[in-house]
Amino acid sequence: MKAMVLERPADIHSRPLRLTELPDPTPGAGEVRVRVTACAICRTDLHVIEGELARRRAPLVPGHQIVGVVDALGAGATRFAIGDRVGIAWLRRTCGACRYCHAGRENLCEASEYTGWTHDGGYAELAVVDERFAYALPPAFSDAQATPLLCAGIIGFRALERARLRPGGRLGIYGFGSSAHIVLQLARARGAEVYVCTRGASHQALARSLGAAWVGGTVDAPPVKLDAAINFTPVGDVVPAAMAALDKGGVLACAGIHMSDVPPLVYETQLFYEKEIRSVTANTRADGEGLIREAAAIPIRPHITTFALEEANEALIRLDDDRIDGTGVLTLR
């Protein structure tokens, strides 16, 4: 199979991914093999490629927002049939036995495995996954449209839950990339007012087109106090501004897997009055199923820009430079 392979972490502007011919993977017991039709790119891919997340596998095929068709079954795999369309997300496997798994918090499992980080992912013609961690996809979305739901959407969904936004409340969104533009649609469908803080005229224009009540710069103060906020940026300096914008009892959810250090907070204006900061760690399968159901019912329409598989370096450079509105998607047919 053809795949874009990372031999060692490097700055994305050095174009470290190489188009390589690899042996076709064979599904193990309880696994399915998927012929990939599309795989979205993600800022987490950048963190893996550039070494901000510790190297867990080398060489590595990145990518964890995968859509394709099942083309082979491992021993005992019965959940899907050959030809079924499925999605593969970031969370690849958990132990199922630790106290976190037993408590319904499998996203915190200490033995968890991840697509495109601990195991090869979807920047390839074929990918393998435990059938229990694959998602059946409704026909409401094309292959390319479905890809950002599998990480950007799932993490945004979990972040929105962690932010505890009340029905009809005011939500602040900091940063407006792939996940944020899906969350805006989720929140609006739930009756929320959404206030977006982001840099870049094109990002701001997309936020307005999707129904944001107000759009400003990354650390600008919204015109009203917020009931909840989500920081999608990897920049810790955003946190004090977001906390200052919260109303009493407000919650800030920090949705990134990697973020620079958060500077000191001023207790009176940024933390007092029972304000909270909550982090978001990966997702559970229940998050994924919930997001897919809700996204199909709304329906959410991800804004995508497509690239060929061999253009993965260029697509990620554009992502790193904030030159993609919505989500970049690698297509393989």
Last residue of a domain, one of 241, 257, 279: 279
CB 12 within 8 A of CB 50: yes
Q: What is the mean pLDDT of the chain?
A: 97
Contact status, residue 110 vs residue 98, Cβ threshold 8 Å = yes
The CATH number of residue 118's host domain is 3.90.180.10
Same-domain status, 18 and 32 = yes
pLDDT at 31 over 90: yes
**Res. 333: pLDDT tops 90:** no
Q: Please name every residue paired with 252 in a beta bridge, in sequence order, or none if there are none.
A: 229, 277
Same domain, residue pair 112 and 249: no
Residues 76 and 186 in one domain: no
Looking at the fold, whether 9 and 146 belong to one and the same domain comes out as yes
pLDDT at 122: 98
- One-letter-per-residue 3-state SS of 161-220: HHCCCCCCCEEEEECCCHHHHHHHHHHHHCCCEEEEECCCHHHHHHHHHCCCCEEECCCC
Identify whether residues 102 and 167 lie together within a single domain: no
Q: What integer pLDDT is reported at residue 304 of this predicted model?
A: 97
**DSSP assignment, residue 30?**
T
261 and 327 together in one domain: no
- CB contact at 8 A, 283 and 309: no
Check: CB of residue 179 under 8 Å from CB of residue 202: no
E strands, the chain, are 2-6, 17-21, 31-40, 66-73, 85-88, 91-93, 113-114, 126-130, 134-136, 170-174, 193-197, 214-216, 226-231, 246-254, 276-279, 304-308, 327-331
Q: Residue 261 belongs to a domain with what CATH number? A: 3.40.50.720
CA atoms of 220 and 218, how far apart (whole Å): 6
Kindly state the average pLDDT of the residues 301-312: 97
Give the pLDDT confidence score for residue 184 in this predicted structure: 98
Residue 255: phi, psi to the nearest 5?
-95, -10
Q: pLDDT tens digit string along 91-135?
A: 999 999 999 999 999 999 999 999 999 999 999 999 999 999 999
Domain boundary residue, one of 260, 279, 298: 279
231 closest CA partner among 241, 221, 222: 241
d(CA 123, CA 8): 16
Domain match, 320 and 222 both = no
Q: Compute the half-sphere exposure of residue 207: CA atoms within 13 Å on the CB side of its CA.
A: 28
231-264 pLDDT, tens digit each: 999 999 999 999 999 999 999 999 989 999 999 9
What domain range is 267 assigned to?
154-279
- Tell me: do 167 and 189 sit in the same domain: yes
What percent of the chain is modeled with pLDDT above 90? 99
pLDDT at 228 over 90: yes
Mean pLDDT calculated for residue range 195-214: 97
Percent of the chain with pLDDT over 70: 100
